[in-house]
Structure 1
Amino acid sequence: MKIARYYPILFAMFLLAGCLEPVDLPILNGEARLVLNSNFTNDQYFHVRVSQSRNLQDSSTFVFVNNATVKIFHDGELLETLTYFPPDDKDEFPSYRSLSIKAEFGIEYEIIAEAPGFASITSSGKVPFPTEITDTSLEDEGNQTSSSFVFFSLGIDDNQVEDNYYHILVYQLADQLVSSSNGTKDFETRLFGPLKMFTFDPDAPVSFFIDNRGALIRDRSFNGQDKKFTFRVDFEKLRTTNDNGRIIIELRSVTEDYYDYLTSIKRQHDRSNNPLSEPAIDFTNIENGYGLFTGFSVSRDTIDLR
């Protein structure tokens, strides 16, 4: 499967379980610190990136740390020392990965990373239990001059026991007729990301991520209720070639740290586009460093295009 559209930093990462793409986290003064990014889900290996922060005036690219020692613990017991993997054809960034342990629902994992010349960093995180999508439906679809759109709705069966946070992602899966290098043509299944996603409900408890390509939700206004949301999503084109056009809706149950981190990145992005805006505080759950170590779980549903 190929992803036909380039996603902005971070949004592309959330397509599959794995680690967060590097995030630019400069510091105003003082020594550089380690930056650790890992976003994990159940039944998947841990995948961690380690880089270093840089000064605000430094315009250089990311500096990855390839001599770190990264360990995963649970209740103080060492589970595994992660293995370093250099960049390759499948992953352009170096990473540290587990080879034996996979994340499980509800278990609190601790991580410690050390590297020569840096203070050691620590964090903890878990994979929340998934929240089911109660109902999905295609409300409308149509075409415009330069894009196509769909209106869809989904229901979230919220758990009243605790505060809940969600991340909604939408893709289009379709068979597309493509030409090969030898001149033949064949259908190839591809995944297409949206141009934009938004709601017309001014009271919806929704915060949109960078460029409105994903929705972040907290359940403060509907705690314990079955809540319905309706969105409009714009695509470059609705592809129904070979009768295999579908909309994939992904509901991620995420942690408060996940929610705070992404909303912080959104504020940082908005601030960079508006020099007169108020300063934004960058969120991190890494002690003595920067970044994010947390988990998420997934519920998915599909809607066939008419």
Structure 2
Amino acid sequence: MKTISFLIKKLYFVLLWLLLGLGLFSCEPDPIEIDLPAHQPKLVIATQVAPEKYMLVQVSKSFSSLASNSDSLATDTTFMKSLVVEHALVQVTFNGRTETLQHLRNGLYMGANIVQYYGLTYTLFVRDSVSELECTAVTEMQAPTTFEKLEPEVIRTAKDTTVNLHFTIADQRPEKNFYLISLTGASRKNVIPWKGTRSVKSIQEQIILVNDDAMQQGRYSAKEKLTLGTSDSLVVTLTNISEPYYRYLELYRKSGNLMNQLTGEPINLPTNIQNGYGYFSAHNPTGEVFNLREW
């Protein structure tokens, strides 16, 4: 249960990071005086399945990157809060039943009774009662998978500390599979969501994408040098994801941030949200938490 509890907190931070977009404006280009049609805002969706029967859905609104100076937007908490959707009806329909998610805070909604039927279709419906924007999406619940081997390696010298991760994924299934490995470093004092948004700054994350093309005799083994800074804890999760979501993450990783989604720029990341942006994915992570002080 310790791992499950820690992962739920970690997943909260992932979605909160999506909401706050700490690096959102760092790569925004200088304004160009061009005549564009008025931006029509849409809902932006991010989702995460947590162990057992939990699902988190984060809801925000897109905006025009030409709306204001990027430097002022980055520090304008009032503007950032205006993007958060706090009065939405969020429902997930599956297996002939519909569950209404409970609003938490910061545009985050949680369902505590979303039973996980692997291979079954799940439908998301979101309607913001304030803006009257709404969107829908359909996805398939992915079965969880586990590491065959997972072990961190910490090399300490007088000048530096290096953290490597050794892992092996075994895949003997006939169908083609796609995997997401998420590596998150955090100080223990900052893994509690209700400590405030300032604690998010010390959460660092990197992702590794693996598919069957990298497998040799049904296995993929690697040593990854982590770019995470010094931290007390390392959270490693492995997720079996769909091919469309895999392709989405490939482009997301290249973009470096969510600007194209949230600002409505002409070049947008792919989405499975009808009348919105983001991605509705019901992938199911498993993972472990390592206290790096013990290695």
- TM-score of the superposed pair, with normalisation by structure 2: 0.65
Q: Matched residues in 2 for 1:42 and 1:18: separation? A: 16
The code of the aligned residue for 1:32 comes to P
Residue 136 of structure 1 aligns with which residue?
Answer: 150
Q: Offset of 1:238 from its aligned partner? A: 7.4
Q: Offset of 1:19 from its aligned partner? A: 7.3
Does structure 2 conserve the Cα–Cα contact (< 8 Å) formed by 1:166 and 1:218?
A: yes
The correspondence of residues 28-43 of structure 1 with structure 2, limited to 5 A, is 29-43=38-52
Indicate which of 119, 141, 166 corresponds to 2:179: 166
Q: Offset of 1:99 from its aligned partner? A: 4.4
- Which protein has the bigger strand share? 1
**For each residue in 1:26-54, what CA deviation from the matched residue of structure 2 results, as whole angstroms up to 9, or x when unmatched?**
99744211222212134132222222211
Indicate which of 85, 89, 93 corresponds to 1:65: 85
Long gaps (5+) in structure 1: 1-11, 88-92, 177-192, 196-211, 240-245, 273-278
- Is 1:84 matched up with 2:75? no
- Is 1:15 matched up with 2:10? yes
Does structure 2 conserve the Cα–Cα contact (< 8 Å) formed by 1:41 and 1:104?
A: no
- Is 1:230 matched up with 2:223? yes
Indicate which of 217, 237, 256 corresponds to 2:243: 256
The alignment-based identity, stated in percent, is: 20
The correspondence of residues 1-306 of structure 1 with structure 2, limited to 5 A, is 15-16=10-11, 20=15, 21-22=18-19, 29-59=38-68, 60-61=79-80, 62-75=82-95, 77-85=96-104, 87=105, 93-116=106-129, 117-137=131-151, 141-143=155-157, 145=159, 147-170=160-183, 213-222=206-215, 225-234=218-227, 236-237=229-230, 249-269=236-256, 281-301=268-288, 305-306=294-295
Moved more, 285-294 or 119-128: 119-128
Whose RCO is larger (CA < 8 A, sep 6+)? 2
Q: From the superposition, tell whether residues 280 and 153 of structure 1 become closer, same or farther in structure 2 (CA, over 3 Å).
A: farther
Q: From the superposition, tell whether residues 139 and 290 of structure 1 become closer, same or farther in structure 2 (CA, over 3 Å).
A: closer
Q: Offset of 1:133 from its aligned partner? A: 1.4
DSSP-derived class of the 1:297 partner = coil
- Which protein has the bigger helix share? 2
Aligned length: 244
CA RMSD of aligned residues (A): 4.0
